[in-house]
Amino acid sequence: MLRDYEEAVTRDGVRAVPTVVVNGGRRLVGLVSESLYRRTLEAASSE
């Protein structure tokens, strides 16, 4: 598990829980609204 954490920090820049990494490197960090979550996922899926 420690290796997974170190990889997430190094590769994806994860610094908080929860962090959702979406295609294109977008990150949703911490508590975000449902509408922001949906907009981010929709934008990523249209790329």
40 within a domain of the structure (yes/no): yes
Q: Measure the CA–CA gap between 4 and 16, rounded to whole angstroms.
A: 14
* Total-model pTM: 0.66
What's residue 13's pLDDT?
84
Q: Measure the CA–CA gap between 5 and 18, rounded to whole angstroms.
A: 12
Domain that holds residue 31: 16-47
Query: How many domains is the chain built from?
Result: 1
Q: What is the tens place of the pLDDT at every residue in 1-47? A: 889 889 888 988 888 889 998 887 788 999 999 999 999 999 988 88
4 within a domain of the structure (yes/no): no
DSSP at 27: E
Q: Which residue has the tokens 């590769």?
A: 11
30 within a domain of the structure (yes/no): yes
8 within a domain of the structure (yes/no): no
